[in-house]
Amino acid sequence: MENISAAPETQIKETSFLSLNPSTLEVIGEVANTSREEIDDKIEKAQKAQKRWAARPDAERKEIILKVAEALQQNSKHLAAWITREQGKPLSGPGANFEMQACVGWTQVPASLDVPEEIVFEDETRKDILYRNPIGVVAAIAPWNWPLMIAIWQIIPSLRMGNAVVIKPSEYTTFCTQEMIKVINTVLPEDILQVITGRGEVGSYLTSHPEIGKIMFTGSIATGKKVIEASVKNMARLTLECGGNDAGIILPGFDVSKHIDQLFWAAFLNMGQTCACLKRLYVHENDYEKVVKALTDYSSHIPMGDGADEASILGPIQNKMQYDKILDLILDSEKNGADVLFRGQKPDLEGYFIPVTLIGNVDNGHRIVDEEQFGPVLPIIQYKTLEEAITKANNSENGLGASVWSDDLNEAQKVAAQLQAGTVWINQHGAIHPLVPFGGAKQSGYGVEFGIEGLKAVSLPKVISIKK
């Protein structure tokens, strides 16, 4: 999602560019590219603030973060309106207000958790104690699909463990993220959370900066690899969430009617612009028509339009780059013999709208199946045997999430155990939780977020070994 070069000497050439409302294409404002000198200054301030922040008692840091949650709650309507205006997701349904409630929850939970020292070994001769110390300054690269929620995932655990954060929002959703940072900084001590803005070269300079100790990134595989290259300059620790092409398998005989709501939103939450959305659906040939009909009937009743209209439940694609990519994948599938099983009604608006689209007569090997479309398009693939479905589901460079849908939970768990993904859901998909570790397998990244494991990931283990 970001275009980050690994070279720290990259020049920041542009001074500014425009941000657009994806529903109306109106200009929201001009985004400045933060200069290298400004980035240096912000990192230096963050370093000094981090030492003061880490010196505070743990209970005090927890109390401050809980006050951050209160501030987010108090400003949730204001921030949700900004999300809708710049990111595009509707206020209604699982949209901008939903995102803001997630921001509050994912702030409260880390503040409620403790990571105490641990006696890892003790006998009559020695005692070894494992402590978790702050890393220093964390560089956070936030994406455009959930610009506030994912920024919170990066910011709050880092602060909770005594770090400072310098965050770069996506170039496509700068203003809404900045608005949230303003709210958070009414509570936090000065300089502990800094924001820089701009295109990929700004992120390049930040991630390769010698004073960065940890990088948290959510985005594409290609950009994730560039972040890895950048980290060679500073040996920064990494947490990478590089997207997914999540597969779902419906086991034979599944009563889809009981779960159609969950199945639809598994694929089309945030217009499919979610890393852990269902992006490939494998259905037994005997159940294919039934599943297609259920999804078609449900999809035809979900209204799409400008997210500011409370009647809208689905909104636009966030930016033209992604819009063009999705249209290209749909066109390619049609050229190669795919069937458009359903195409929803496109609203009469100028924005980047693509209606919900169900694609049939496709298989592994088609681009629409093999590539992460990251949009409101779902290829539905028929299979004859479960072994075939499992093999095809695993045939991907991605491994973020997967799901199994069945009325037989024991059978579903057997299939889930064979799927290559960081999380496999049963009769749900993308159901993340702030206490449950979340991360990818294969090229979907490494490291985990959320819960105790997520807090450990933004700290340094230190052992003190005592000879008795």
Active site residues: 241
Contact assessment for residue 446 and residue 440, using Cβ atoms and an 8 Å cutoff: yes
Contact present, 131 and 461 (Cβ < 8 Å): yes
The CA-atom distances, in angstroms, between 147 and each of 37, 111, 405 are: 26, 21, 30
Cα–Cα distance measured from residue 378 to residue 381, given in angstroms and rounded to the nearest whole number: 10
Contact 278, 327 (CB under 8 A): no
